[in-house]
C-alpha cells in the first residue's frame, strides 16, 4: 500500500519535472506521498505545519515547491468560488495553510456553501398551530416524561429551522425525537409532507426503520400517529446511495444539482459515518428552495467515517448567531449558540456501561479502573485463548445461537428472530489483521465450531457473513449481515427484508463471528467482547483512540468484556482522533 502511494506520488510529480530541480522533485514526491497518507488516515487535507514535521522540510520549502510545480493553485478564504482544475490546491487560512487534492477542497467548499445557506433559513408556521403543537408535547412531557426536556427543545427548534443537527449517544432517544418531530411537522403542514429517511449502510437503514416502527407502537407516546403509520412505508427508508440513485460503473448518482430529490423532509441517521464525498453529493441533490427540513442525526463522539472527512463533527461544533431584538443594548442583541441540539439522558445501556463510556470520553482513568470491577464491565487479558474460551463456553451466546439453529427443522420464515439471536453477542476487533484481528479470530472461531458441531462443508446452517462492498443490482450493501441456512443439501444466505442468495452470487464478503469496531457502527448487541491487542507499533497506536473504544463499548446494552491491558486502554483514552479539515473555516 505504501509503495502504491509512493508510485502514484511520483507519477503526479512527473507532471512538474520540467519546472523543478532534481532535489525539488524529490521534495514534491514526499509532499504528495504524505498528503496521500493523511487522506488514508481519514483527513481531508494536510496541514502544512504538521506535514513539515513528518517529512522533515520547512513550511516555506513545502509551499514554495508546490507553488513552483505548477500543479497547484493558491487560495485565500475569499477566493474559493472558482477553483482552478489542477491536481492540488493550497489554501491559506487564519491558522495556517492546508494542501488539498483539489476535488476534496471542492467538496468542502460546496458543503460549506450549502450549510451556510441552510443555517440562515427559518421556517414560519401559523403561530396558533405552532403553539398548539408545543402545548401537546409539553403536556405529554408532564404526563409521562416523554419527550424529556432535551428532546422537546430539539423538536421545537427543528420545526423552526430548515437545517437541524441532533446529536446524542446510544439510548438518548434520537428515534423518539425523530418520531415526535415528524408528528409535529405533520400537524403543522396542511399537506402531508414527502419524507425520506436514510442512513449510510443497509444495516443502519434497517435499524432506523425498525426503531421508528417500534416507536410508532409505543403506548407511552400518547399522540395520534395514524397518519405517520399510513405514510411511513418501507420505501421511505433506504441507504443514502439508494436515495441518490445508483449509476452503474459511475461515482455519480442519478440525483444531483440538476435532478434534485423529490422530498419535503429528509432525515439522515448515523451521520457521523458519512464521508466527505458522499456528504457533498447528498447536499448537491437537494433543492434548497423547496425542501422544508433536513435533519442530520448522529453521535459526535463516535468514530468518524471510514472514508476521509470530518463533516458531522464539524457541523456539531458550529455556532450560529442569534439576534435578540428586545435587548436595549446594541452589543447584547447578538449572541451565539450551537447549531446542534444535544440529547444527554441515556436509557439504553446498563448503568455500568453508561458510566464506563462517559469515563472513557472524559479520560477519567481512576473511574475507568473502578468501572472495570463491575460484573457488567469486565477486563480480561488480550489473549487469543481467552477470547476463544469466552466464545466456546457452553453457555456463551454464540454457542446458544448455533445450538438453536441446529435444533430447528425450518427457519426460513423467521429470519428476523434468527438475526436477533445472532446479534445477542458481538466480537469487536480493532483491526482486520493480526492474531487478534477479525480475519484470524473468524478463522479460529469457525475451526472451533466445525469441530464441536461436526461440520465438514464450507457452508453450514448458522454461518454468518458480512458484505464488504455495495452491490446495487442485488440490493446488498457494505455492512449487511446474512446467515446461511442449508436445506436438502443446498445453501442459501438470508438477509433482512426476505432477501436470499446462493453463496456463489454474493459480492465480496467475510465471516462475521468477529468484525471490526468500524463495521459495528449503527448496531447494538446485548453483550460485546472488545478486543484491543497490545502493540507498540506507531501505526497500531494511531488506530487506538478514545473514539474507537467509546464506539465499541456503547454497542453493548447489558454487558461488555474488554480483552485488553489496562495501559492499552489508558493509551487509547489519551489519544483523540480529531481529523484535519478546513470545513470549520468555511462554516464561520
- Residues 90-111 have pLDDT tens digits of 999 999 999 999 999 999 999 9
Quote the CA–CA distance of 200 and 244 in Å, as a whole number: 11
How far are the Cα atoms of 187, 227, 231, 322, 438 from residue 190, in angstroms, in the given order?
A: 7, 13, 15, 29, 52
Domain 1-103 has CATH 1.10.10: yes
First to last CA, the chain: 37
Task: Give the predicted TM-score (pTM) of the model.
Answer: 0.90
Chain CA centroid to CA 262, Å = 25
Stretch 490-495: mean pLDDT: 92
pLDDT at residue 349, rounded to an integer:
55
Checking 337-342 for CB contacts under 8 A at 24+ apart, the result is 339/119, 339/163, 339/165, 339/315, 340/165, 340/166, 340/167, 340/300, 340/315, 340/316, 341/150, 341/153, 341/154, 341/157, 341/158, 341/164, 341/165, 341/166, 341/167, 342/150, 342/167, 342/168
Stretch 538-558: mean pLDDT: 87
- Cell numbers 484535519 correspond to 580
Enter the DSSP assignment of 156. H
Backbone angles phi, psi at 499, to 5 degrees: -90, 140
- Residues 212-250 have pLDDT tens digits of 998 898 877 888 889 999 999 999 999 999 999 988 778
Stretch 500-522: mean pLDDT: 95
pLDDT at 498 over 90: no
pLDDT at residue 51, rounded to an integer:
97
121-346 homologous superfamily: P-loop containing nucleotide triphosphate hydrolases (3.40.50.300)
> Do residues 402 and 453 touch, judged by C-beta distance below 8 A?
yes
Chain CA centroid to CA 320, Å = 24
Query: What stretch(es) of the chain map to CATH 3.40.50.300?
Result: 121-346
Stretch 367-381: mean pLDDT: 94
Quote the CA–CA distance of 343 and 117 in Å, as a whole number: 25
- Cell numbers 402545548 correspond to 135
Do β-strands 425-429 and 514-516 pair in parallel, antiparallel, or remain unpaired? parallel
Quote the CA–CA distance of 398 and 403 in Å, as a whole number: 9
- Residues 74-95 have pLDDT tens digits of 999 888 888 999 999 999 999 9
Stretch 478-502: mean pLDDT: 89
Strand partners, 161: 122
Q: What is the mean pLDDT of the chain?
A: 90
Bigger pLDDT: 415 or 411? 415
* Predicted confidence band of residue 325 (pLDDT cuts 50, 70, 90): very low
Coil, strand, or helix at residue 278?
helix
* Predicted confidence band of residue 479 (pLDDT cuts 50, 70, 90): confident
- Residues 123-164 have pLDDT tens digits of 888 889 999 999 999 999 998 888 999 999 999 999 999 999
The grid coordinates of residue 183 equal 408528528
Quote the CA–CA distance of 76 and 316 in Å, as a whole number: 24
Amino acid at each position: 500500500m505504501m509503495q502504491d502511494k509512493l508510485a502514484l506520488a511520483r507519477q503526479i510529480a512527473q507532471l512538474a519535472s520540467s519546472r523543478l530541480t532534481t532535489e525539488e522533485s524529490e521534495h514534491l514526491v514526499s509532499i504528495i506521498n504524505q498528503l496521500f497518507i493523511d487522506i488514508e488516515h481519514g483527513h481531508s487535507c494536510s496541514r502544512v505545519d504538521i506535514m513539515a514535521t513528518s517529512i522533515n522540510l520547512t513550511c516555506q520549502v513545502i509551499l514554495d515547491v508546490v507553488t513552483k510545480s505548477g500543479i497547484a493553485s493558491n487560495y485565500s478564504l475569499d477566493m474559493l468560488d472558482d477553483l482552478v482544475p489542477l491536481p492540488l490546491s493550497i489554501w491559506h487560512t487564519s491558522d495556517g495553510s492546508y494542501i488539498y487534492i483539489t476535488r476534496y477542497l471542492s467538496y468542502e467548499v460546496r458543503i460549506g456553501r450549502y450549510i451556510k445557506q441552510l443555517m440562515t433559513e427559518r421556517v414560519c408556521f401559523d403561530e396558533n398551530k405552532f403553539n398548539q403543537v408545543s402545548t401537546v408535547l409539553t403536556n405529554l412531557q408532564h404526563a409521562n416524561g416523554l419527550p424529556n426536556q432535551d428532546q422537546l427543545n430539539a423538536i421545537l427548534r427543528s420545526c423552526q429551522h430548515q437545517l437541524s443537527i441532533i446529536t446524542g449517544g446510544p439510548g438518548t432517544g434520537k428515534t423518539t425525537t425523530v418520531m415526535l418531530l415528524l408528528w409535529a411537522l405533520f400537524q403543522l403542514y396542511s399537506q402531508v409532507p414527502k419524507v425520506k429517511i436514510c442512513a449510510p449502510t443497509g444495516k443502519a437503514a434497517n435499524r432506523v426503520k425498525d426503531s421508528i416502527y417500534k416507536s410508532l407502537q409505543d403506548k407511552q407516546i400518547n399522540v395520534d400517529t395514524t397518519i405517520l403509520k399510513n405514510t411511513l412505508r418501507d420505501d421511505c427508508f433506504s441507504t443514502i446511495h439508494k436515495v441518490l440513485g445508483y449509476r452503474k460503473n459511475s461515482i455519480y448518482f442519478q440525483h444531483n444539482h440538476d435532478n434534485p430529490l423529490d422530498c419535503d423532509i429528509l432525515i439522515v441517521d448515523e451521520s457521523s459515518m458519512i464521508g466527505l464525498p458522499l456528504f457533498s453529493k447528498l447536499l448537491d441533490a437537494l433543492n434548497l428552495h423547496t425542501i422544508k427540513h433536513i435533519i442530520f442525526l448522529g453521535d459526535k463522539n463516535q468514530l468518524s467515517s471510514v472514508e476521509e472527512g470530518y463533516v458531522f463533527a464539524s457541523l456539531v461544533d458550529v455556532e450560529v448567531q442569534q439576534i435578540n431584538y428586545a435587548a436595549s443594548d446594541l452589543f447584547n442583541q447578538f449572541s451565539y449558540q450551537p447549531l446542534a441540539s444535544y440529547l444527554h439522558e441515556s436509557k439504553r445501556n446498563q448503568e455500568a456501561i453508561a458510566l464506563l463510556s462517559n469515563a472513557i470520553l472524559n479520560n477519567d482513568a481512576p473511574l475507568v479502573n473502578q468501572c472495570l470491577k463491575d460484573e457488567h464491565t469486565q477486563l480480561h487479558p488480550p489473549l487469543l485463548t481467552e477470547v476463544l474460551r469466552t466464545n466456546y463456553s457452553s453457555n456463551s451466546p454464540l454457542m446458544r445461537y448455533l445450538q438453536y439453529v441446529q435444533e430447528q427443522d425450518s427457519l426460513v420464515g423467521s429470519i428476523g428472530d434468527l438475526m436477533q439471536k445472532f446479534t445477542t453477542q458481538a466480537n469487536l476487533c480493532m483491526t482486520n489483521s493480526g492474531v487478534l484481528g477479525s480475519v484470524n479470530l473468524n478463522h479460529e472461531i469457525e475451526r472451533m465450531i466445525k469441530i464441536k458441531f461436526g461440520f465438514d462443508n464450507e457452508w453450514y446452517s448458522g454461518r454468518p457473513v458480512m458484505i464488504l462492498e455495495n452491490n446495487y443490482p442485488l440490493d446488498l450493501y457494505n455492512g449487511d449481515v446474512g446467515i446461511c441456512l442449508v436445506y436438502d443439501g443446498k445453501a442459501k444466505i438470508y438477509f433482512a427484508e426476505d432477501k436470499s442468495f446462493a453463496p456463489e452470487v454474493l459480492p465480496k464478503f467475510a465471516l462475521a463471528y468477529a468484525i471490526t469496531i468500524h463495521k459495528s457502527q449503527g448496531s447494538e448487541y446485548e453483550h460485546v467482547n472488545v478486543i484491543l491487542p497490545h502493540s507498540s507499533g506507531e501505526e497500531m497506536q494511531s488506530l487506538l483512540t478514545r473514539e474507537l473504544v467509546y464506539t465499541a463499548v456503547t454497542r453493548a446494552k447489558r454487558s461488555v468484556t474488554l480483552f485488553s491491558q489496562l495501559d492499552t486502554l489508558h493509551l487509547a483514552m489519551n489519544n483523540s482522533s480529531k481529523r484535519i479539515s478546513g470545513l470549520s473555516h468555511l462554516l464561520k
